[in-house]
Amino acid sequence: MDSEPTRGGGLEFGMFHEFQRRPGQTEIEAFRESFEQVDAAEAAGLDVMWLAELHNSPERSVLAAPLNIASAIAMRTKRMKIGIAVQVLPLCHPLRVAEEATTVDHISQGRLIFGVGRSGFPRTYQAYGISYAESRERFAEVLEILKRAWTQETFSFHGQFYRFDDINLVPKPFQAPYPELRIAVNSPDTFQQSGEAGLPIFVATRLGDLNELVPNLRVYREAWAAAGHPGAGRVYLRVPVYVAETEQRAREEPRESIMYFYRYLGARIEASAVQEGARSLEMRAERGQRLQSIDYDEALRSKIVVGTPRMVTDRLGELKETLGLSGILAELNCGMRIPHEQVLTSLRLMCGEVMPHYRDTMANLSASD
């Protein structure tokens, strides 16, 4: 007989969605299935629907305009929060994205969570005609402009890339002072900077493994404390999750899709090591090669969470304690090849049989934020 599942306290449960385009699907079909999954998530009680931003990947996704999709979701849902994971700020005009984000904030009546980041792939920057080598500096400028635009009646900004005088942004945010910001981090220096800035962070296991996160999160929390921010900082893990009624189905049903994804991702990372502006070239190339040769057992141990509802509940409890998690962004179709009905089943099992074990302290978690 199985033991009682671990009850690790409150967790925010989100679904990380790329609006995947499965092999052989039309774009129309990809949108239709994805919105069906959004509707199912709302009905099942999911906390947050997270939207990626992906460009020039017709074999993978139709989600190139996350704030547009967020607006559509806001009109077809009433309860679920809508998160951007993430808006690639260096590719944005700061005034345009500031206006669009606050518009979604009003349409959703304050349900927007605005995740931001730089993206790790220079290819998209090349398509947009922006140097990836400038991505850090551009990111910092755009983020500062957003904050000023949202909080000041009239603002000016003079930077390296943008110059504005006497701008009055409309509309101002629905949420005060603005939608919650969360930032995607990967390199050690960004953990340090995010802790100093007092921002909640997204972490992931696509490039490394779960154990590699521990020392980086220690840096983040030490920087958080040294800067005098209250609490310990909030960490949200993006991780492939698959839930099925039996252990065998949970293990085997997503196998092909997950293995395809790591080969696909590894090839893109290896190719990006020679593109303009990429940093840590040798490490990037090595990690790309390693992902292409990873076996499924290694992925199960160190990168993904699969199993019956009881197994997934226990595993998430372990990760919550080890990493100090405040929530997860579950990738329920990692690799774009899991059939629609199986994604819906996994979603319903996660919401109906895993989430309830973490509901008892969610109110306390929210109150402490």
What structural domains and CATH numbers belong to the chain? Answer: 12-253+303-361 (3.20.20.30)
Distance between CA 29 and CA 20 in Å, rounded? 10
Instruction: Please calculate the CA angle 162-87-285 and round it to the nearest 5 degrees.
Output: 100
**The pLDDT value given to residue 280:** 60
**The pLDDT value given to residue 120:** 74
pLDDT beyond 50 at 308: yes
pLDDT digits (tens, 9 = 90+) for 314-350: 999 999 999 999 999 999 999 999 999 999 999 999 9
**The pLDDT value given to residue 5:** 40
**257 Cβ neighbours under 8 A, 6+ residues apart:** 333, 334, 335, 336, 337, 338
Task: Tell me the residue type at 296.
Answer: Y
Of 307 and 359, the one with more pLDDT: 307
**The pLDDT value given to residue 278:** 55
**The pLDDT value given to residue 156:** 98
Query: DSSP letter string over 229-258?
Result: -SSS--EEEEEEEEE-SSHHHHHHTTHHHH
Distance between CA 327 and CA 343 in Å, rounded? 20
3 state SS of 295: coil
pLDDT beyond 90 at 187: no
Distance between CA 239 and CA 147 in Å, rounded? 29
pLDDT digits (tens, 9 = 90+) for 276-306: 555 566 677 888 898 999 999 999 999 999 9
**The pLDDT value given to residue 218:** 95
The pTM score is: 0.93
